[in-house]
Amino acid sequence: MDKDTPSDYNDDVNITEKSISLVAGDRTTSTLTITPSLEYHGTIMYCKVSNGYGSILSVRKPRINVLVAPSTPKVLYKNLIVDTITVIQNSSVSLECTSSGNPTPNISWKLTNGSVINNETTELKFMQSVNAVTITCTATSDMQPTSGSTTQYSNATSLLVNILYPPTTPTNSNPLPMNYTWTLPGGLKRDGQIFTIPNVLSSGTYKLDVNNVMNAHSAPQVVIGNANVMFTLDMLFAVAVRPIANTTVLQNRTLSVTCPYTEGNPPKTNFMWKQVRPSRVIGTNLSIVQVQKDDFATYTINVDNDIGSTEQTFVIQVKEEPAIPEQFGIPENTITDSSVIVEWKPGFNGGDDQWFTDEEPSC
């Protein structure tokens, strides 16, 4: 076996012990059986025949080509073998994948979206807002021995890529936010992930600024990520009704009462007027044409919105001239020589106090 010096037989290696010779008549057949390894790759094999009177070398001297499956690929970043790298979102990184074998393996990259890049080196940009992705480098060889069918062999290595990205929401970033700053409607600032308003007094617009710190292999310096969120605090509160003064109105006049209320939030407001005794529902407006005796009563106004309700009570007093007293009479045993007691039923006057005078009729 000659590997390095085809023209010099002095350093050739004798491997006759790996052969078996069979003699049949005047013919000798020698069969060499070896298990190929890398040390045999590229060597020249020949047979030397001797019968004691002379020797001769075989004319055909085959060279052994040892096929080797691809080795486990190695991923290099900046000439360093890595199994994990950290990158900043939307930044580019150059990667190299190497594998040895015979024949020389074909290198391919498989990305998270299923696409394949057939090249040893590739430049990638990671735009996902996820903490990490895995990409795979695969080395493949089609091995075709002199005798036998072609067989494909492959070997693969996975690379974990940690992706640093700025806040997309106050709670979604990699790494997590470090600073939270709240700007209040008046411009006052407060720090902290949680901001509590103990007593909400008014509506207003608030702003939240969130920062994180990204330090990656692919970035020459630390990068600060930022996001901000603006929202309006809408304070909801019930409608308020101020007291309604009791009202005195002349009989047969028109009365209209307006509810003195302060609008709430939400502003949609419902009104319901009721007469207490006798009980009756009046509706959303209180307007009485030609006030009569039955309208002298106590009334309530109920006002509500989606948050709550309130109620006020007031009295309508009907004012009119007193009616003529009725049912005059003299109680029994009330007449004396100098006096007499007279009784009567007062006429209706709307509920006001009334007084009476008696006069003797003139003749």
pLDDT at 348: 67
φ and ψ of 269, to 5 deg: -125, 140
Mean pLDDT of 211-225: 87
Quickly tell me which residue has 């044409």 as its tokens.
Answer: 289
pLDDT digits (tens, 9 = 90+) for 271-325: 999 998 778 888 888 888 888 878 888 999 999 999 999 999 999 887 766 777 7
Domains, the chain, ordered by start: 1-66 (no CATH), 74-167 (2.60.40.10), 169-233 (no CATH), 240-319 (2.60.40.10)
How does pLDDT run across 104-159, given as a tens digit for each residue? 999 999 998 899 999 999 999 999 899 999 999 999 999 998 888 999 999 999 99
pLDDT above 70 coverage of the chain, percent: 93
What would the pLDDT profile of 13-52 be if each residue is shown by its tens digit? 888 888 898 988 888 888 888 888 878 788 888 888 887 7
C-beta neighbour count of 86 within 10 angstroms? 18
* Residues β-bridged to residue 288: 255
Strand runs (DSSP E) across 69-131, as ranges? 74-77, 80-81, 84-88, 92-98, 106-110, 116-117, 121-125
pLDDT at 125: 92
| Average pLDDT across the chain, whole number | 87
The tokens describing 132, both together, are: 């990490």
What 8-state DSSP symbol labels residue 64?
P
Low-confidence winner among 94-103, 135-144, 272-281, 338-347 (lowest mean pLDDT): 338-347
* Whether pLDDT at 209 is above 90: yes
Residue 208 has pLDDT above 90, yes or no: yes
Greatest mean pLDDT among 151-165, 217-231, 239-253, 342-356 lies in: 151-165
The 3-class secondary structure across 155-185, one letter per residue, is EEEEEEEEEEEEEEECCEEECCCCEEEEECC
The whole-number pLDDT of residue 60 equals 83
**Cβ–Cβ under 8 Å, residues 133 and 116:** no
| Residue 46 vs residues 13, 81, 220, 247, 341: alpha-carbon distances, Å | 11, 43, 60, 132, 165
Q: Which of 269 and 41 is assigned the larger pLDDT?
A: 269
Regarding pTM above 0.85, the answer is no
Q: What band does 351 get if pLDDT is binned at 50, 70 and 90?
A: low
- Non-local (6+) Cβ contacts of 116 within 8 A are 108, 109, 110
Tell me the pLDDT band of 4, cut-offs 50, 70 and 90.
low
What does the pLDDT average to over 351-355?
67
The amino acid occupying position 37 is S
